[in-house]
Amino acid sequence: MSVNLRIPGPTPLPDPVLKALSGQMINHRGPEFATLIAKLTEDLKKAFATTGDVVILTASGTGGLEAAVTNTISPGERCLVVSIGVFGDRVFDIAKTYGADPVKLSFLLGQAADPDKVRQALNADAKITTVFVTHNETSTGVTNDLGALAKVIKGEFGKTLVVDGISSIGSVPCPVDAWGLDVAVSGSQKGWMTPPGLAMVSVSKHGWDVIAKAKTPRFYFDLVKAKQSAEKGQTPWTPAVSVYYALDAGLKMMFAEGLEATHQRHARIGAHTRAMVKRMGFKLFAADERYASNTVTACHVPEGVTWKQVSERLRNDHQTVLAGGQGPLMGKIFRIGHLGWVNEKEIDQAGVALEKSLAAVGHSLGARSS
Protein backbone atom coordinates (compact mmCIF):
# COMPACT_ATOMS: atom_id res chain seq x y z
CA MET A 1 0.00 0.00 0.00
CA SER A 2 1.41 3.35 -0.94
CA VAL A 3 1.68 6.16 1.55
CA ASN A 4 -1.01 8.84 1.59
CA LEU A 5 1.26 11.86 1.91
CA ARG A 6 -1.06 14.68 2.90
CA ILE A 7 1.28 17.46 3.95
CA PRO A 8 1.45 20.89 2.31
CA GLY A 9 4.53 19.95 0.26
CA PRO A 10 6.41 17.99 -0.81
CA THR A 11 3.36 16.47 -2.48
CA PRO A 12 2.97 13.01 -4.02
CA LEU A 13 4.36 12.86 -7.54
CA PRO A 14 2.33 11.42 -10.42
CA ASP A 15 3.93 8.74 -12.60
CA PRO A 16 4.87 11.02 -15.53
CA VAL A 17 6.79 13.24 -13.11
CA LEU A 18 8.54 10.29 -11.46
CA LYS A 19 9.48 9.06 -14.92
CA ALA A 20 10.76 12.48 -15.99
CA LEU A 21 12.95 12.64 -12.89
CA SER A 22 14.96 9.66 -14.07
CA GLY A 23 15.98 11.36 -17.30
CA GLN A 24 19.69 11.21 -18.07
CA MET A 25 21.82 14.34 -17.58
CA ILE A 26 22.40 16.84 -20.38
CA ASN A 27 24.79 19.74 -20.87
CA HIS A 28 23.21 22.65 -19.00
CA ARG A 29 24.98 24.98 -21.44
CA GLY A 30 23.73 23.14 -24.52
CA PRO A 31 20.76 23.41 -26.90
CA GLU A 32 18.49 20.84 -25.15
CA PHE A 33 18.60 22.78 -21.91
CA ALA A 34 17.99 26.05 -23.78
CA THR A 35 14.84 24.55 -25.29
CA LEU A 36 13.73 23.28 -21.88
CA ILE A 37 14.22 26.55 -20.01
CA ALA A 38 12.47 28.52 -22.77
CA LYS A 39 9.48 26.18 -22.61
CA LEU A 40 9.31 26.22 -18.82
CA THR A 41 9.54 30.01 -18.77
CA GLU A 42 6.64 30.36 -21.21
CA ASP A 43 4.53 27.82 -19.31
CA LEU A 44 5.23 29.49 -15.98
CA LYS A 45 4.29 32.89 -17.37
CA LYS A 46 0.90 31.43 -18.25
CA ALA A 47 0.54 29.82 -14.82
CA PHE A 48 1.50 33.10 -13.12
CA ALA A 49 -0.85 34.96 -15.54
CA THR A 50 1.85 37.46 -16.37
CA THR A 51 3.42 38.94 -19.46
CA GLY A 52 6.33 39.96 -17.24
CA ASP A 53 9.27 37.73 -16.51
CA VAL A 54 9.51 34.51 -14.53
CA VAL A 55 12.92 33.18 -13.56
CA ILE A 56 13.76 29.81 -12.03
CA LEU A 57 16.23 29.47 -9.17
CA THR A 58 17.81 26.26 -7.86
CA ALA A 59 16.71 26.61 -4.23
CA SER A 60 13.76 25.89 -2.02
CA GLY A 61 10.97 28.41 -1.55
CA THR A 62 12.85 30.19 1.22
CA GLY A 63 15.64 30.86 -1.28
CA GLY A 64 13.01 32.46 -3.50
CA LEU A 65 11.86 34.61 -0.58
CA GLU A 66 15.46 35.65 0.12
CA ALA A 67 15.80 36.59 -3.56
CA ALA A 68 12.56 38.60 -3.34
CA VAL A 69 13.85 40.54 -0.34
CA THR A 70 17.49 41.11 -1.25
CA ASN A 71 16.70 42.13 -4.83
CA THR A 72 14.07 44.73 -3.92
CA ILE A 73 15.23 46.40 -0.72
CA SER A 74 18.25 48.46 0.33
CA PRO A 75 19.80 48.46 3.79
CA GLY A 76 17.93 50.86 6.05
CA GLU A 77 14.90 50.95 3.76
CA ARG A 78 11.53 50.92 5.48
CA CYS A 79 9.19 48.18 4.35
CA LEU A 80 6.00 46.66 5.67
CA VAL A 81 5.74 42.93 6.24
CA VAL A 82 2.17 41.75 6.59
CA SER A 83 2.38 38.53 8.58
CA ILE A 84 -0.31 35.98 9.34
CA GLY A 85 2.04 33.21 10.43
CA VAL A 86 5.40 31.46 10.24
CA PHE A 87 6.09 32.35 6.62
CA GLY A 88 5.24 36.04 6.99
CA ASP A 89 7.52 36.09 10.03
CA ARG A 90 10.22 34.44 7.93
CA VAL A 91 10.12 37.27 5.38
CA PHE A 92 10.44 39.75 8.24
CA ASP A 93 13.48 37.84 9.55
CA ILE A 94 15.09 37.84 6.11
CA ALA A 95 14.54 41.59 5.71
CA LYS A 96 15.94 42.20 9.20
CA THR A 97 18.94 39.94 8.53
CA TYR A 98 19.85 41.93 5.43
CA GLY A 99 19.69 45.26 7.22
CA ALA A 100 16.38 46.58 5.93
CA ASP A 101 14.09 48.44 8.30
CA PRO A 102 11.00 46.24 8.25
CA VAL A 103 7.84 46.97 10.19
CA LYS A 104 5.72 43.94 10.95
CA LEU A 105 1.95 44.08 10.81
CA SER A 106 0.85 40.84 12.46
CA PHE A 107 -2.59 39.35 12.62
CA LEU A 108 -3.77 36.74 15.09
CA LEU A 109 -2.87 33.24 13.96
CA GLY A 110 -5.78 31.82 12.00
CA GLN A 111 -6.88 35.22 10.72
CA ALA A 112 -6.42 36.75 7.30
CA ALA A 113 -4.87 40.18 6.87
CA ASP A 114 -7.38 43.01 7.09
CA PRO A 115 -7.01 45.47 4.18
CA ASP A 116 -8.16 48.31 6.46
CA LYS A 117 -5.34 47.64 8.89
CA VAL A 118 -2.88 47.57 6.00
CA ARG A 119 -4.28 50.92 4.83
CA GLN A 120 -3.83 52.35 8.34
CA ALA A 121 -0.26 51.09 8.50
CA LEU A 122 0.56 52.69 5.16
CA ASN A 123 -1.13 55.94 6.14
CA ALA A 124 0.81 55.99 9.38
CA ASP A 125 4.23 55.69 7.79
CA ALA A 126 4.99 57.42 4.50
CA LYS A 127 8.53 56.05 4.49
CA ILE A 128 7.35 52.55 3.60
CA THR A 129 8.36 51.80 0.02
CA THR A 130 7.53 48.13 -0.28
CA VAL A 131 4.96 45.75 1.15
CA PHE A 132 5.51 42.01 1.58
CA VAL A 133 2.41 39.83 1.73
CA THR A 134 1.96 36.07 2.08
CA HIS A 135 -0.79 34.92 -0.26
CA ASN A 136 -1.43 31.53 1.32
CA GLU A 137 -0.03 31.00 4.81
CA THR A 138 0.89 27.31 4.87
CA SER A 139 1.35 27.30 8.64
CA THR A 140 -2.23 28.32 9.47
CA GLY A 141 -4.22 27.23 6.41
CA VAL A 142 -5.37 30.77 5.70
CA THR A 143 -5.45 32.48 2.30
CA ASN A 144 -5.32 36.25 2.27
CA ASP A 145 -7.65 38.18 -0.01
CA LEU A 146 -4.68 39.25 -2.05
CA GLY A 147 -6.79 41.01 -4.68
CA ALA A 148 -8.26 43.29 -2.00
CA LEU A 149 -4.87 43.83 -0.36
CA ALA A 150 -3.30 44.65 -3.72
CA LYS A 151 -6.00 47.23 -4.39
CA VAL A 152 -4.91 49.08 -1.26
CA ILE A 153 -1.15 48.56 -1.56
CA LYS A 154 -0.81 49.18 -5.29
CA GLY A 155 -4.08 50.94 -6.18
CA GLU A 156 -4.32 53.43 -3.33
CA PHE A 157 -0.68 53.81 -2.30
CA GLY A 158 1.35 52.76 -5.34
CA LYS A 159 3.81 50.80 -3.21
CA THR A 160 5.96 48.00 -4.51
CA LEU A 161 4.18 44.71 -3.79
CA VAL A 162 6.17 41.53 -3.17
CA VAL A 163 4.23 38.33 -2.63
CA ASP A 164 4.99 34.93 -1.16
CA GLY A 165 2.83 32.80 -3.43
CA ILE A 166 4.77 29.63 -2.68
CA SER A 167 1.78 27.48 -1.77
CA SER A 168 -0.80 29.34 -3.83
CA ILE A 169 0.37 30.06 -7.36
CA GLY A 170 -0.61 27.29 -9.74
CA SER A 171 -3.21 25.91 -7.31
CA VAL A 172 -5.48 28.86 -6.61
CA PRO A 173 -6.09 31.99 -8.71
CA CYS A 174 -3.24 34.45 -8.35
CA PRO A 175 -3.30 36.61 -11.48
CA VAL A 176 0.03 38.37 -11.13
CA ASP A 177 -0.56 41.08 -13.75
CA ALA A 178 -4.22 41.73 -12.95
CA TRP A 179 -3.41 42.22 -9.27
CA GLY A 180 -0.21 44.16 -9.99
CA LEU A 181 2.23 41.94 -8.11
CA ASP A 182 5.75 43.25 -8.67
CA VAL A 183 7.54 40.16 -7.42
CA ALA A 184 5.82 36.84 -6.72
CA VAL A 185 7.50 33.64 -5.55
CA SER A 186 6.41 30.03 -5.85
CA GLY A 187 8.07 26.71 -5.01
CA SER A 188 8.24 23.54 -7.11
CA GLN A 189 7.11 21.18 -4.33
CA LYS A 190 3.72 22.83 -3.88
CA GLY A 191 0.97 22.81 -6.49
CA TRP A 192 3.28 21.95 -9.37
CA MET A 193 3.45 18.16 -8.74
CA THR A 194 7.23 18.50 -8.73
CA PRO A 195 9.84 17.71 -6.06
CA PRO A 196 11.40 20.50 -4.01
CA GLY A 197 14.49 22.22 -5.41
CA LEU A 198 13.24 25.08 -7.58
CA ALA A 199 11.87 28.49 -6.72
CA MET A 200 10.05 30.38 -9.45
CA VAL A 201 9.99 34.17 -9.22
CA SER A 202 7.97 36.57 -11.37
CA VAL A 203 9.08 40.17 -11.79
CA SER A 204 7.01 43.03 -13.26
CA LYS A 205 8.42 45.95 -15.23
CA HIS A 206 8.22 48.12 -12.11
CA GLY A 207 9.81 45.24 -10.21
CA TRP A 208 12.89 45.41 -12.45
CA ASP A 209 13.12 49.20 -11.91
CA VAL A 210 13.09 48.63 -8.17
CA ILE A 211 15.64 45.82 -8.44
CA ALA A 212 17.96 48.07 -10.45
CA LYS A 213 18.09 50.49 -7.50
CA ALA A 214 18.10 48.05 -4.56
CA LYS A 215 21.48 47.93 -2.87
CA THR A 216 21.29 44.84 -0.66
CA PRO A 217 24.10 42.51 -1.72
CA ARG A 218 23.10 39.35 -3.57
CA PHE A 219 25.02 36.99 -5.76
CA TYR A 220 23.59 33.47 -6.02
CA PHE A 221 20.08 34.91 -5.88
CA ASP A 222 20.71 37.82 -8.27
CA LEU A 223 17.50 37.99 -10.31
CA VAL A 224 19.06 40.15 -13.03
CA LYS A 225 21.74 37.54 -13.65
CA ALA A 226 19.03 34.86 -13.74
CA LYS A 227 17.06 36.82 -16.33
CA GLN A 228 20.10 37.58 -18.49
CA SER A 229 21.18 33.94 -18.47
CA ALA A 230 17.67 32.72 -19.24
CA GLU A 231 17.62 34.94 -22.32
CA LYS A 232 20.64 32.95 -23.52
CA GLY A 233 18.91 29.66 -22.65
CA GLN A 234 20.96 29.12 -19.52
CA THR A 235 21.13 29.71 -15.79
CA PRO A 236 23.98 31.63 -14.14
CA TRP A 237 24.85 28.64 -11.95
CA THR A 238 24.38 24.93 -12.64
CA PRO A 239 20.64 24.19 -12.44
CA ALA A 240 18.99 21.21 -10.71
CA VAL A 241 18.40 19.56 -14.10
CA SER A 242 16.31 16.62 -12.82
CA VAL A 243 13.89 18.93 -11.07
CA TYR A 244 13.56 20.98 -14.28
CA TYR A 245 12.54 17.75 -16.06
CA ALA A 246 9.98 17.10 -13.33
CA LEU A 247 8.58 20.63 -13.47
CA ASP A 248 8.16 20.25 -17.21
CA ALA A 249 6.18 17.04 -16.70
CA GLY A 250 4.11 18.61 -13.91
CA LEU A 251 3.28 21.65 -16.04
CA LYS A 252 2.31 19.39 -18.92
CA MET A 253 -0.25 17.71 -16.66
CA MET A 254 -1.52 21.07 -15.41
CA PHE A 255 -2.02 22.35 -18.94
CA ALA A 256 -3.69 19.07 -19.94
CA GLU A 257 -6.18 19.57 -17.09
CA GLY A 258 -6.38 23.29 -17.81
CA LEU A 259 -5.16 25.98 -15.42
CA GLU A 260 -8.67 27.07 -14.55
CA ALA A 261 -9.78 23.47 -14.05
CA THR A 262 -6.77 22.95 -11.77
CA HIS A 263 -7.87 25.94 -9.68
CA GLN A 264 -11.43 24.60 -9.61
CA ARG A 265 -10.27 21.18 -8.49
CA HIS A 266 -8.33 22.75 -5.63
CA ALA A 267 -11.38 24.80 -4.63
CA ARG A 268 -13.58 21.72 -4.78
CA ILE A 269 -11.19 19.58 -2.76
CA GLY A 270 -10.63 22.36 -0.25
CA ALA A 271 -14.38 22.57 0.34
CA HIS A 272 -14.60 18.77 0.45
CA THR A 273 -11.86 18.61 3.09
CA ARG A 274 -13.43 21.30 5.25
CA ALA A 275 -16.84 19.65 5.07
CA MET A 276 -15.25 16.35 6.06
CA VAL A 277 -13.33 17.58 9.08
CA LYS A 278 -16.29 19.60 10.33
CA ARG A 279 -18.55 16.56 9.94
CA MET A 280 -16.00 14.62 12.00
CA GLY A 281 -16.26 17.22 14.74
CA PHE A 282 -13.04 19.15 14.20
CA LYS A 283 -12.86 22.91 14.44
CA LEU A 284 -11.14 24.71 11.57
CA PHE A 285 -8.17 26.81 12.63
CA ALA A 286 -9.10 29.49 10.08
CA ALA A 287 -11.06 32.03 12.12
CA ASP A 288 -13.29 32.87 9.17
CA GLU A 289 -13.99 30.05 6.75
CA ARG A 290 -14.13 32.46 3.83
CA TYR A 291 -10.34 32.68 4.14
CA ALA A 292 -9.72 28.97 4.71
CA SER A 293 -7.08 27.77 2.28
CA ASN A 294 -7.83 25.57 -0.69
CA THR A 295 -4.35 24.05 -0.56
CA VAL A 296 -4.05 23.15 3.13
CA THR A 297 -6.63 22.72 5.89
CA ALA A 298 -5.61 23.36 9.49
CA CYS A 299 -7.72 22.07 12.39
CA HIS A 300 -7.48 22.47 16.14
CA VAL A 301 -6.17 19.37 17.89
CA PRO A 302 -9.09 18.34 20.15
CA GLU A 303 -8.61 18.87 23.88
CA GLY A 304 -7.05 15.93 25.64
CA VAL A 305 -5.41 14.64 22.47
CA THR A 306 -1.63 14.47 22.03
CA TRP A 307 -1.04 15.04 18.31
CA LYS A 308 2.26 13.18 18.30
CA GLN A 309 0.45 9.99 19.33
CA VAL A 310 -2.20 10.39 16.64
CA SER A 311 0.45 11.15 14.06
CA GLU A 312 2.33 7.96 14.94
CA ARG A 313 -0.83 5.87 14.63
CA LEU A 314 -1.63 7.50 11.29
CA ARG A 315 1.84 6.75 10.02
CA ASN A 316 2.29 3.26 11.42
CA ASP A 317 -1.21 1.82 11.13
CA HIS A 318 -2.58 3.68 8.12
CA GLN A 319 0.40 4.81 6.02
CA THR A 320 -1.01 8.30 6.22
CA VAL A 321 1.14 11.36 6.82
CA LEU A 322 -0.47 14.60 7.97
CA ALA A 323 1.43 17.69 9.11
CA GLY A 324 1.54 18.99 12.66
CA GLY A 325 1.68 22.62 13.68
CA GLN A 326 4.80 24.75 13.30
CA GLY A 327 6.39 27.05 15.86
CA PRO A 328 3.84 28.29 18.41
CA LEU A 329 1.18 26.02 16.91
CA MET A 330 3.09 22.78 17.47
CA GLY A 331 0.78 20.28 19.16
CA LYS A 332 -2.13 22.70 18.87
CA ILE A 333 -3.15 22.20 15.26
CA PHE A 334 -2.72 19.61 12.56
CA ARG A 335 -2.79 20.20 8.84
CA ILE A 336 -4.01 18.25 5.83
CA GLY A 337 -2.29 19.15 2.58
CA HIS A 338 -4.45 19.07 -0.55
CA LEU A 339 -2.45 20.65 -3.30
CA GLY A 340 -0.93 19.35 -6.48
CA TRP A 341 -1.83 15.80 -7.43
CA VAL A 342 -4.84 15.13 -5.20
CA ASN A 343 -8.39 13.91 -5.46
CA GLU A 344 -11.35 13.44 -3.11
CA LYS A 345 -10.63 9.77 -2.53
CA GLU A 346 -7.28 10.50 -0.91
CA ILE A 347 -8.89 13.05 1.38
CA ASP A 348 -11.59 10.58 2.36
CA GLN A 349 -8.97 7.93 3.07
CA ALA A 350 -7.07 10.39 5.23
CA GLY A 351 -10.32 11.14 7.08
CA VAL A 352 -10.96 7.47 7.81
CA ALA A 353 -7.37 6.99 8.94
CA LEU A 354 -7.63 10.03 11.18
CA GLU A 355 -10.83 8.79 12.78
CA LYS A 356 -9.35 5.36 13.47
CA SER A 357 -6.11 6.82 14.80
CA LEU A 358 -7.98 9.08 17.21
CA ALA A 359 -9.99 6.09 18.39
CA ALA A 360 -6.77 4.11 18.83
CA VAL A 361 -5.43 6.73 21.23
CA GLY A 362 -8.72 6.59 23.11
CA HIS A 363 -10.46 9.62 21.73
CA SER A 364 -13.81 9.68 20.01
CA LEU A 365 -14.93 12.88 18.40
CA GLY A 366 -18.34 14.24 19.25
CA ALA A 367 -19.44 14.11 15.63
CA ARG A 368 -21.82 16.81 14.58
CA SER A 369 -23.53 17.68 11.36
CA SER A 370 -21.75 20.36 9.42
Residues binding its own copies (CB under 8 A): 2-3, 5, 7, 9-13, 18-19, 21-31, 58-63, 66, 93-94, 97-99, 187, 189, 195-197, 217-221, 236-243, 246, 315, 321, 323
Report the relative pairing of strands 183-187 and 160-164 from DSSP bridges: parallel
Q: Which is nearer to its own copies, 52 or 197 (CB)?
A: 197
- To its own copies, the closest distance from the beta carbon of 230 in angstroms equals 15
Question: Would you say 70 or 143 has its CB closer to its own copies?
Answer: 70
CB of 112 to its own copies, least distance (A): 24
**Using CA atoms, how far apart are residues 143 and 146, in angstroms rounded to an integer?**
8
For residue 243, which phi and psi values (nearest 5 degrees)?
-75, -30
Nearer to its own copies, 149 or 246 (CB): 246
DSSP-assigned states of every residue in 207-270: HHHHHHH--S--STT-HHHHHHHHHTT--SS---HHHHHHHHHHHHHHHHH-HHHHHHHHHHHH
How far apart are CB 185 and its own copies at their closest, in Å?
Answer: 12
What is the C-alpha to C-alpha distance for residues 173 and 162, in angstroms, rounded to an integer?
A: 16
Buried b (16+ CB within 10 A) or exposed e, 321-353: bbbbbeeebeeebbbbbbbbbbeeebbeebbeb
| Residues 232-244: b if buried by 16+ CB within 10 A, e if exposed | ebbbbeebbbbbb
Q: Which is nearer to its own copies, 51 or 306 (CB)?
A: 306
DSSP states of 302-359 = PTT--HHHHHHHHHHHH-EEEEE--GGGTTTEEEEE--SS--HHHHHHHHHHHHHHHH
Toward its own copies, which CB reaches closer, 129 or 229?
229
Query: Among residues 142 and 243, whose Cβ is nearest to its own copies?
Result: 243
Rounded Cα distance between 278 and 273, Å, is 9
Q: How far is the CB of 179 from its own copies (least distance, A)?
A: 26
Q: What is the closest distance, in whole angstroms, from the C-beta atom of residue 220 to its own copies in the complex?
A: 5
Torsion angles phi and psi, residue 182, rounded to 5: -80, -40
Task: For its own copies, give the closer residue by CB, 91 or 254.
Answer: 91
- With respect to its own copies, which residue has the nearer C-beta, 135 or 154? 135
- Closest distance between its own copies and the C-beta of residue 317, in Å? 15
Least spacing, CB of residue 92 vs its own copies, in Å: 11
Cβ(182)–Cβ(207) below 8 Å: yes
Q: Which amino acid is at 291?
A: Y
